[in-house]
């Protein structure tokens, strides 16, 4: 059966909730270490060590995948859809400030505010992806066709529509937050793969 993939590449922190009841969820978080005694030194470290995306360095980077496989069954010479097999995956790379305790209190607070804003930003993105995956799964379960090949194609079309919807909603959210800048973040743009 066909699999379709959406990769949303944005700078990120993301945790999918457990509400995607039929989805296999995989989170992979990697850290790169930065060491500085103040925010200026921290910015320099992040600019030189942060994830490289399309020729630019970002403090935090995430890659989100939404995959599915249609599932069908034949009943009384009619093909019925079952809930598709869903996979939601996040690969994240973010800084770990290993010398944070040596910084002054104000710098530590700014750092925590930055990390909190990143978490808020990317929780919203995860919700967008997850909600579209759930809506797709719910819609697919109600489909039927004369043969399973036609039905699988119809499920794939619904999946592509869900991906397009998620993609547009993420772009709208990025535009609304100026790609996170209104939250104090500097983030990359959305990519389709």
Q: How confident is the model at residue 193 (pLDDT cuts 50, 70, 90)?
A: very low
pLDDT at 190 (0 to 100):
33
* Residue at 193 is within a domain: no
* Residue at 191 is within a domain: no
**Total domain count, the chain:** 1
The answer to whether residue 33 scores a pLDDT higher than 80 is yes
* Residue at 190 is within a domain: no
List % helix, strand, coil for the chain (3-state, nearest 5). Answer: 45, 30, 25
Whole-prediction pTM value? 0.76
pLDDT at 59 (0 to 100):
86
Task: Label residue 139 exposed, middle or buried (CB < 10 Å: 0-12, 13-18, 19+).
Answer: middle
Range of the structural domain that residue 8 is part of: 4-183
Euclidean distance between CA atoms 87 and 65, whole angstroms: 8
pLDDT at 182 (0 to 100):
58
The answer to whether residue 116 scores a pLDDT higher than 80 is yes
* Residue at 76 is within a domain: yes
Give the three-state DSSP class for 15: coil
* Residue at 84 is within a domain: yes
Q: How confident is the model at residue 184 (pLDDT cuts 50, 70, 90)?
A: low
């Amino acid at each position: 059966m066909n699999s379709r993939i959406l990769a949303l590449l944005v700078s990120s922190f993301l945790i999918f909730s457990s509400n995607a009841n039929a989805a296999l969820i995989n989170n992979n978080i990697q850290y790169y270490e930065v060491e500085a005694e103040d925010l200026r030194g921290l910015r320099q470290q992040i600019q030189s060590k942060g994830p490289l995306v399309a020729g630019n360095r970002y403090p935090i980077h995430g890659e989100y995948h939404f995959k599915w496989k249609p599932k069908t069954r034949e009943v009384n010479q009619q093909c019925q859809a079952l809930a598709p097999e869903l996979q939601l995956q996040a690969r994240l790379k973010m800084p770990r400030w290993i010398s944070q305790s040596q910084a002054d209190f104000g710098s530590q607070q700014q750092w925590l505010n930055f990390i909190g804003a990143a978490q808020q930003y990317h929780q919203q993105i995860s919700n967008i992806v997850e909600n579209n995956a759930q809506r797709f799964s719910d819609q697919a379960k109600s489909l039927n066709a004369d043969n399973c090949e036609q039905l699988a194609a119809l499920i794939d079309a619904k999946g592509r529509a869900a991906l397009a919807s998620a993609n547009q909603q993420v772009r709208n959210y990025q535009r609304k937050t100026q790609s996170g800048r209104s939250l104090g973040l500097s983030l990359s743009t959305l990519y389709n793969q």
